[in-house]
Structure 1
Amino acid sequence: MSSHQHDPGEQGPAEDRAHQGEDLAALLSRLLDQTSGRNQKDLAAAAGIPYATVNAWMNRTRGTSRIDPDKLRALREVFRSWGVSVKVSDFFAAAGQPVPGPTDVEREARLLKLYRQLPEERQRDLVRDAEAMLRVSRVS
């Protein structure tokens, strides 16, 4: 494994601390270094973000505090697809944005997982409660 490749299981608390305070330009540069032969243009194309925008972020000529959260998630997904281990919270922190709560899909998956762990009688209770909450929300 070369110094530019990254073992996904390698990241630990010491590495997390080493990158705290990293801005988006530094994060993107570090992550690109962990890919084999990928560059800003590749990243922009794969994430569906104009190259000029990615380049401006990396050259620190464009602010990052108003980046659409979906673009930050897209960047993370590109790096994950390239085999680089990185958390979505790293992108939000580097852009100077608060990490938003779970997406609708994540919330639904969590709810379904909890539902499936309940005994059948409690599942029925939960469905009744949810239907009652829906009725109340329609009235409000």
Structure 2
Amino acid sequence: MTKGPHPSGELGSGEDFAHRGEDLAALLERLLAQAQGRTQKDLAEQAGISYPTLNAWVNRTRGTSRIDPEKLRAMVEVFRRWGVKTTPREFFASVGRAVPGPSGDEREAQLLRLYRQLPESRQRDLVKNAEAMLQLSRAI
């Protein structure tokens, strides 16, 4: 089943658009169909993947279990720039792996979302705590 965004437009941490049992080839085919006017060559170039490698994944002539996690994340980012909704979880699931924790950008975005939900006095407290944690980490 496909899940959509929250009413706020944000994706929940447990939500994604993956279709059950979809391998990388099927996922790429589906997402490329949503990226009007975009091709495998465009995806390969913008994600920093050689076209023959990407094409082999799409044609299922090359294994996907050892794909560098950063290549999977790069493809997610390319599709997002193209306006296609997808998640890292969806890509990692398509190659049979768990997502290896949020990327730095995802952690920063999560922290900012949480910060903005706090009352102003708690925001100040959070900044003070973060500064104290930074000082401690420098002392170690």
Q: Distance in 1 between matches of 2:127 and 2:33?
A: 49
Tell me the residue number matched to 2:79: 79
Q: Distance in 1 between matches of 2:64 and 2:38?
A: 22
Q: Distance in 2 between matches of 1:132 and 1:85?
A: 38
Alpha-carbon distance, 1:53 to partner = 0.9
Tell me the residue number matched to 1:102: 102
Alpha-carbon distance, 1:96 to partner = 1.6
Q: TM-score, normalised by structure 1?
A: 0.69
Q: Distance in 2 between matches of 1:126 and 1:85?
A: 32
Matches within 5 A, 1:1-140: 11-12=2-3, 19-36=19-36, 38-140=38-140
Q: Distance in 2 between matches of 1:32 and 1:123?
A: 41
Alpha-carbon distance, 1:23 to partner = 1.0
- Give unpaired runs (5+ residues) of structure 2: 5-16
Higher relative contact order (CA 8 A, sep 6+): 1
Letter paired with 1:138: R
The more displaced of 90-99 and 116-125 is 116-125
Change (3 A) 1:97 1:122: same
Q: Distance in 1 between matches of 2:20 and 2:96?
A: 12
Tell me the number of residue pairs that the alignment of Structure 1 and Structure 2 aligns: 127
Structure index of larger Rg: 1
Change (3 A) 1:90 1:119: closer
Moved over 6 A (4+): none
Q: Distance in 2 between matches of 1:116 and 1:30?
A: 35
